[in-house]
């Protein structure tokens, strides 16, 4: 069920990306919507972005799916970045109530998760299984689906998704 929402969101993001490339600038409303999906709370509400992205910004259109992750030790903001060479990044402040939400597990032991391997200018994704529960920002053990390899450690970035950043 969770994967269907991700696929539908990715399809909508792809259509918006095509429109943004045609207009010459990134659609800032798409960034706001991505932050809402990532935090799980509407803009201006506890746990969500404090304000919409400043409409005076003129960002280059991002030809790939945006990458969002928590930033700061207490999750005071969401880092939104365009994962292409020379891509931009943007920090969106969130309401302080997000700290309480971050301490609650969003990935359960045995749950199917998307494992994202992120490097400079690329992201690879694979299905896997969480070997332990974890809250956003915590490191947990995961195992790629269909393998008997030793588990690896990945950081929980949102419900159903963990990531490993390469240098």
What is the CB neighbour count within 10 angstroms for residue 110? 10
Rounded average pLDDT over 75-90? 90
Task: Tell me what pLDDT residue 1 has.
Answer: 33
Q: Supply φ then ψ for residue 132, to 5 degrees.
A: -155, 160
Comparing 148 with 58, the larger pLDDT belongs to: 58
Task: Tell me what pLDDT residue 8 has.
Answer: 33
Rounded average pLDDT over 61-77? 85
Segment 137-140 long-range contacts (CB within 8 Å, at least 24 positions apart) = 137/70, 137/75, 137/102, 140/107
pLDDT in tens, 112-129: 999 999 888 888 999 999
Task: Tell me what pLDDT residue 76 has.
Answer: 84
Task: Tell me what pLDDT residue 107 has.
Answer: 93
Task: Tell me what pLDDT residue 15 has.
Answer: 45
pLDDT band at 33 (very low <50, low <70, confident <90, very high): very high
- pLDDT at 7 > cutoff 50: no
Note whether 127 and 114 are within 8 A (CB): yes
Task: Tell me what pLDDT residue 95 has.
Answer: 84
Three-class DSSP category at 2: helix
Task: Tell me what pLDDT residue 149 has.
Answer: 83
Task: Tell me what pLDDT residue 28 has.
Answer: 95
pTM of the model: 0.51
């Amino acid at each position: 069920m969770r994967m269907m929402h991700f696929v539908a969101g990715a399809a909508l993001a792809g259509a918006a990306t095509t429109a943004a490339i045609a207009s010459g600038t990134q659609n800032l409303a798409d960034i706001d919507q991505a932050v809402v999906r990532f935090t799980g709370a509407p803009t201006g509400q506890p746990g969500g972005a404090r304000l919409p992205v400043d409409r005076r910004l003129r960002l280059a259109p991002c030809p790939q799916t945006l990458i969002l992750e928590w930033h700061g030790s207490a999750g005071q903001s969401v880092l939104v970045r365009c994962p292409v060479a020379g891509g931009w990044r943007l920090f969106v402040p969130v309401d302080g109530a997000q700290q309480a939400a971050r301490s609650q597990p969003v990935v359960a032991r045995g749950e199917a998760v998307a494992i994202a391997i992120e490097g400079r200018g690329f992201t690879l994704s694979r299905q896997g299984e969480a070997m332990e529960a974890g809250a956003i920002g915590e490191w947990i053990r995961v195992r790629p689906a269909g393998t008997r390899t030793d588990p690896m450690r990945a950081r929980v970035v949102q419900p159903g998704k963990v990531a490993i950043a390469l240098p």
